[in-house]
Structure 1
Amino acid sequence: MKKIALMTAAMLACAAACSSGETGGAGQGGRSPGTVEITMWHGQEDTSADSVEKLVAEFNRTHPTIKVTTDSGGVTADAMLPKVTTALAADTYPDIAYMYGSWSANIARSPKAVDLTSYVKDPKVGWDDFWPNTRATVTVRDKVIGFPAVVDDLAVLYNRKLLAKAGLKEPSKDWTWDDFRAMARSMTDPATKTYGTTWAVSGGEETTWGLWPLLWQNGGQILAPGDKKAAFNSPAGVQALTVLQQMAVVDKSVYVDSSPAEKGQKLFESGRLGLMLAGPWVLPDLQKAKVDFGIAVLPGTGGDHQTISGPDNWVVLDRGEDRVKASVEFLAWLTAPEQQMVWMKDTGSLPTRKSITALPGYKDFVAKYPGIQVVTDNLVNAKQVRPASTKYPRVSAYVAEAIAAVLIGRKDPKSALDEAAVKSDAVLAVPGQ
């Protein structure tokens, strides 16, 4: 799973303030007459990096008036916000940066984040073709700061061999969290160190985002209207966290994963984990490991199988009007259905646009990644997005601490969430979003 880096208060404040550099700075050297050069920090690794480089090379070949130079930014995508924040202060920032959607409010505060609202109205962009939640994630208070880069959602991956060994049927489309708990309990075997499921407690968004669907399914919200007070410690939130507590503390069916190295996934790959909340990003790894697995939507509450999606963005930063226009032209091309199909086949990512599913190559994509259609169809269950607040990463960190304390048996759900709410309210009360 993509891990969201925890940000310090200084970094979050700097994201808004670092905007004094003049346009036309880094990346101007070696510019060919008549060619606009732009720089993109993609933060991708391995197969994803190779796919980005391939697509950029094709764009450069077919668009002689624009030259795109790619770079990882010297960091992975997890650390892109602090990297860009520092670069804004030093006037060494790129034209385009890959940014997690939960950072949208932070980067939008900087005047160097270009408002693309007028650009995306161009029919050639096909803005309405993007899934609604991706458009919502890249829009902060009516300011469009980039293009959707990736969309995913949480589903449940299950090990077919462990299910069969426990005498269980595969999850049905209307299964519940009670069913999930019972399955996890049945597949747990301390003698072989086999677990029913896993939960990351390494901190931040990796820990919290799996809790939000349970909260939403129970009718709760992360923050109160206006984003000035916590709401996750409502009875709905307590009920959601209690589900995890009962599994981890009472049933002992949860592998509590404290390592950012994602040992839970390694357990799944080795056949010692029955159920795992994950998404399309793990499918290539599971195929390489030759795991016999299936995919189901999240368990439901009262028939609601709401999930959470983690859209990421290509954010455009102001390096002058010509470079902004070149960046928009490049991103409109990169996110067009034909190029997205190349990216999807290479990486197993979901379609960012509805029209992609109608392309001839989509059937080949589905065939290459068995079960991916379930995850794509699950996008309709991604009905809500996380708060567009600069304070959200810190709120997420406080909730992550609460979840970890509950799963290791140190605190009960209500007191843990109440403590997190007090800390969150103090941060949310500070002026500025």
Structure 2
Amino acid sequence: MKNLVPILAAVLLGAAACSSSGGGDSGGPVELVMWHGQEDSAAKSLEKLVGAFNRSHPGIRVKMDSGGATADTMLPKVTAGFAADTYPDIAYMYGSWGAALARSPKVPDLKKYVGGPKTGWNDFWPNARQTATVHGKVIGFPAVVDDLTVLYNKKLLAKAGLEPPSPDWTWEEFRSMARRLTDAGSKTYGTTWAVSGGEETTWSLWPLLWQHGGSILSADGRKAAFNSPQGVQALTLVQQMAVQDKSVYLDSTPAEKGQKLFESGRLGLFLSGPWVLSDVKAAGIDYGIAQLPGTNGDHQTVSGPDNWAVFDHGDRRVKAAVEFLTWLTQPEQQLVWMMGTGSLPTRQSVTRLPGYQDFVRRYPGIGVVTDNLANAKQIRPVTAKYPRVSGLVADAIAAVLLGRSDPKSALDDAARKSDALLAVPGQ
């Protein structure tokens, strides 16, 4: 991700301000193309919903397409589409790309469309609205909300003589449990941490930083702040677990092997979220979910909402895209999506639907994850440079956990590089 941001910015800012009128502007049904980037159960659930919309809205026809990309690779796909004028009307885009997208003339401001009661904009969770709104410009609709929690293997905890985590557990308790759950002979690990150099690596550190009173950037966003004493303290705890306790499986993939370890019954504590629940459930693991450990009673967690971004192919298609996304994100449709994927509700009112309790029963522990949204903090500072800053921090974390550096030196080095990057004019 981090290497693609300069390319995206160049294409977005260099693109001609005019937009393609495309098909559907000459009368008849408005045809929309949506690149979803979803796989497996998520793709099937979305296909079901799009089919229902097309049958009930004859004036709009939504063509659902993977875009030839996964969610992870949607950025270069859309970037290429901007350059070739083959971009879609709607695409699933990570929230971290929002600041760059907001600067593009290809991305319309939807603010005038989302104020009415039909849209129910204020029903979305605050952090989801924040991710879809960049410097006052609404770039799309919330697609997914999540937060980081801890999945635990009940069988492994019982075997180690451990009680399930309590609501007020601490990071020292997490460390102790991970140490007792580790068994080199059976290749069972207490927990895991990604060292792949991407957002998966920094994702888990930010809550520790915040709980100690630290921040990612300075208040004005112009300087790195993650190398503060609070940041060093946070990373030192993870280093102690990985290097001293050897209770951490260091995952060189984007958290894929760590998830497989949990699904195979060889990982006790898994820092993850609702996006893995359908797979964990299919694997037959008897699991529980706990909120993140806390520091002095502070259980702040990290949240990374994503968007259905809208792109400009003329007013008629933009309005049709808004109508479709308004329908797609209504509570009833959201519940269908959630039942198929284990995703959290993007709207607060979903929890008041009668069918929500069926969802909670289908995914044991999911109520804890939803309730945890109250502790969730938007992960990304509003700057197009955040993904590159995050990448620098991820490299620092990996160097520490692999024994190549110490927390202070690694974070200071990442901060120097980040400051040079942030000093360049622009968002």
- Same fold per superposition (TM over 0.5): yes
The 2-side partners of 1:216 and 1:127 are apart by: 28
Q: Given that residues 7 and 82 in structure 1 are in contact (C-alpha distance below 8 angstroms), is that contact kept between their aligned partners in structure 2?
A: no
Q: Which residue of 1 aligns with 2:126?
A: 132
Structure 1 portions without partners, runs of 5+:
none
The 1-side partners of 2:2 and 2:384 are apart by: 12
The 1-side partners of 2:160 and 2:327 are apart by: 49
Alignment of 1:193-272 (within 5 A): 193-260=187-254, 262-272=256-266
Q: Which residue of 1 aligns with 2:20?
A: 24
Amino acid of the structure 1 residue aligned with 2:92: Y
Q: Which residue of 2 aligns with 1:392?
A: 386
Amino acid of the structure 1 residue aligned with 2:177: M
State the Cα RMSD in Å. Answer: 1.3
Q: Which residue of 2 aligns with 1:159?
A: 153
Any idea what the Cα deviations from partners look like across 1:39-64, whole Å, max 9, x if unmatched?
A: 11111111111111111111111111
**Which residue of 6, 11, 20 maps to 1:10?**
6
1:57 paired with 2:67, answer no
Shift, 1:23, TM fit = 2.6
Q: Which runs of 4+ in 1 moved over 2 A?
A: 5-10, 12-16, 21-26, 31-34
SS in 1 for 2:6: helix
1:142 paired with 2:136, answer yes
The 1-side partners of 2:11 and 2:72 are apart by: 16
**Which residue of 19, 40, 47 maps to 2:41?**
47
Q: Given that residues 187 and 194 in structure 1 are in contact (C-alpha distance below 8 angstroms), is that contact kept between their aligned partners in structure 2?
A: yes
Q: Given that residues 25 and 91 in structure 1 are in contact (C-alpha distance below 8 angstroms), is that contact kept between their aligned partners in structure 2?
A: no
Q: Which residue of 1 aligns with 2:286?
A: 292
Q: Given that residues 200 and 255 in structure 2 are in contact (C-alpha distance below 8 angstroms), is that contact kept between their aligned partners in structure 1?
A: no
Alpha-carbon distance change, 389 to 372 in structure 1, aligned in 2, over 3 angstroms: same
Q: Given that residues 21 and 91 in structure 1 are in contact (C-alpha distance below 8 angstroms), is that contact kept between their aligned partners in structure 2?
A: no
Amino acid of the structure 2 residue aligned with 1:394: R
Amino acid of the structure 1 residue aligned with 2:286: D
1:112 paired with 2:101, answer no
The 1-side partners of 2:385 and 2:2 are apart by: 12
The 2-side partners of 1:283 and 1:65 are apart by: 36
Shift, 1:428, TM fit = 0.6
The 2-side partners of 1:174 and 1:35 are apart by: 55
Shift, 1:260, TM fit = 3.3
The 1-side partners of 2:121 and 2:14 are apart by: 29
Q: Given that residues 399 and 405 in structure 2 are in contact (C-alpha distance below 8 angstroms), is that contact kept between their aligned partners in structure 1?
A: yes
Q: Given that residues 14 and 85 in structure 1 are in contact (C-alpha distance below 8 angstroms), is that contact kept between their aligned partners in structure 2?
A: no
Structure 2 portions without partners, runs of 5+:
none
Any idea what the Cα deviations from partners look like across 1:6-56, whole Å, max 9, x if unmatched?
A: 333531322532431643355x17x88421111111111111111111111
Q: Which residue of 1 aligns with 2:335?
A: 341
Amino acid of the structure 2 residue aligned with 1:142: G
TM-score of the two chains, using structure 1 as the length reference: 0.96
Shift, 1:118, TM fit = 1.1
**Which residue of 163, 167, 190 maps to 2:184?**
190
Q: Given that residues 206 and 302 in structure 2 are in contact (C-alpha distance below 8 angstroms), is that contact kept between their aligned partners in structure 1?
A: yes
Amino acid of the structure 1 residue aligned with 2:180: S
The 2-side partners of 1:12 and 1:177 are apart by: 38
Amino acid of the structure 2 residue aligned with 1:202: S
Shift, 1:370, TM fit = 0.8
Q: Which residue of 1 aligns with 2:298?
A: 304
Q: Which residue of 1 aligns with 2:347?
A: 353
1:77 paired with 2:61, answer no
Q: Given that residues 43 and 73 in structure 1 are in contact (C-alpha distance below 8 angstroms), is that contact kept between their aligned partners in structure 2?
A: yes
**Which residue of 380, 391, 401 maps to 2:374?**
380
The 2-side partners of 1:326 and 1:9 are apart by: 29
The 2-side partners of 1:142 and 1:309 are apart by: 20
Identity of aligned residues (%): 70
SS in 2 for 1:373: helix
Q: Which residue of 1 aligns with 2:170?
A: 176
Amino acid of the structure 2 residue aligned with 1:362: Y
Any idea what the Cα deviations from partners look like across 1:336-380, whole Å, max 9, x if unmatched?
A: 001101100111100000100011111111111111001000000
Alpha-carbon distance change, 332 to 92 in structure 1, aligned in 2, over 3 angstroms: same
SS in 1 for 2:377: coil
Q: Given that residues 334 and 340 in structure 1 are in contact (C-alpha distance below 8 angstroms), is that contact kept between their aligned partners in structure 2?
A: yes
Any idea what the Cα deviations from partners look like across 1:308-342, whole Å, max 9, x if unmatched?
A: 11211001111100001000000000000011011
Q: Given that residues 12 and 390 in structure 1 are in contact (C-alpha distance below 8 angstroms), is that contact kept between their aligned partners in structure 2?
A: no
Shift, 1:136, TM fit = 0.5
